[in-house]
């Protein structure tokens, strides 16, 4: 009797192991605005990709976030990160492709040109996702919180992570959000059009969010803390690029809604 029971259990385990994976994976590739963050010691910075799983039923949709701080469409490929994602894609999976913040930067290991190398890299992601049976979704870069009368020079968003409130300085702000992405905002839209690819206008969504909250309210989305306000940032912070926990959750929710509108089949797995 005992041997029979053991045999039944063994067969059951084999059947479970052999059962097809019924989950669909949403891969996220991109930069620090979406990336996983170090949360030890109460650190508050979050990428919106960290919060995306909260928006979907994990029994059916699994979010696999590969976005990394400081990466551009070029460096993500050159460092072999894209190959690792390609090896994991199974038919029917989705790949959200969002770059731009670091493609704008002057460093040769990251820089690309819209209408040229930036478009080429985005097209490569789309094409190779499809070759592996996946479904590509292009997004343009999320907006920076820039209400400045005179936008400060910014050669590297990653430097903001090591700054303090004092380093941010005192700059005059107005009531209108400035676009800091230019043609890098447009290129993903163009590539999506000529490659007949799903597209979510993340820049428009987040620009409208920042503008609706206004000069002061929009600070609540970002790593923007007065000295002594946040225990993990005792010297404060004026980082208008990266999100805090609250901001990442709000942005992830808005992008999940837009994703479901673009791809209605995902709506039945959307969690509120």
pLDDT at 163: 87
Q: Which residues of 51-66 are buried (b: 16+ CB within 10 A; e: fewer)?
A: bbbebbeeeebbbbbb
The answer to whether residue 126 scores a pLDDT higher than 90 is yes
pLDDT at 32: 98
pLDDT at 21: 58
- 189: pLDDT confidence band, cut at 50, 70 and 90? very high
Over residues 80-96, the pLDDT tens digits come to 999 999 999 999 999 99
pLDDT at 166: 86
CB 52 within 8 A of CB 269: no
| pTM listed for this prediction | 0.91
- 8: pLDDT confidence band, cut at 50, 70 and 90? very low
Sign of the CA dihedral running 67, 138, 252, 231: positive
pLDDT at 6: 40
Percent of the chain with pLDDT over 90: 83
- 38: pLDDT confidence band, cut at 50, 70 and 90? very high
The answer to whether residue 7 scores a pLDDT higher than 50 is no
The answer to whether residue 18 scores a pLDDT higher than 50 is no
Phi, psi of 149 (to 5 degrees): -65, -40
pLDDT at 199: 98
> What's the average model confidence in pLDDT over 8-37?
71
CB 122 within 8 A of CB 188: yes
pLDDT at 271: 95
- 66: pLDDT confidence band, cut at 50, 70 and 90? very high
CA distance linking residue 253 with residue 52, whole number of Å: 7
> What's the average model confidence in pLDDT over 254-269?
98
């Amino acid at each position: 009797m005992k041997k029979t029971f053991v045999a039944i259990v063994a067969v059951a385990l084999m059947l479970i192991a052999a059962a097809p994976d019924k989950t669909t994976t949403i891969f996220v590739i991109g930069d620090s605005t979406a990336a996983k963050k170090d949360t030890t010691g109460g650190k508050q910075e979050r990428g919106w990709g960290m919060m995306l799983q909260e928006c979907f039923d994990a029994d059916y949709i699994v979010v696999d976030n590969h976005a990394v701080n400081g990466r551009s469409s070029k460096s993500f490929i050159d460092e072999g990160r894209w190959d690792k994602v390609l090896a994991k894609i199974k038919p029917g999976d989705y790949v959200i492709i969002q770059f731009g913040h670091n493609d704008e930067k002057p460093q040769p290991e990251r820089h690309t040109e819209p209408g040229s190398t930036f478009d080429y890299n985005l097209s490569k992601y789309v094409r190779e996702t499809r070759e592996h049976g996946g479904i590509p979704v292009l997004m343009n870069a999320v907006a920076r919180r820039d209400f400045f009368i005179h936008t400060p020079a910014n050669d590297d968003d990653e430097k903001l992570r090591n700054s303090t409130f004092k380093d941010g300085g005192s700059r005059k702000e107005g009531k209108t959000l400035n676009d800091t992405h230019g043609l890098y905002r447009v290129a993903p839209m163009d590539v999506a059009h000529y490659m007949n690819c799903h597209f979510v206008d993340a820049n428009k969504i987040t620009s409208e969010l920042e503008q609706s909250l206004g000069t002061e309210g929009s600070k609540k989305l970002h790593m923007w803390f007065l000295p002594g306000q946040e225990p993990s940032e005792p010297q404060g912070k004026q980082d208008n690029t990266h999100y805090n926990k609250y901001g990442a959750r709000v942005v992830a929710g808005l992008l999940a809604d837009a994703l479901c509108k673009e791809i209605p089949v995902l709506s039945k797995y959307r969690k509120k």
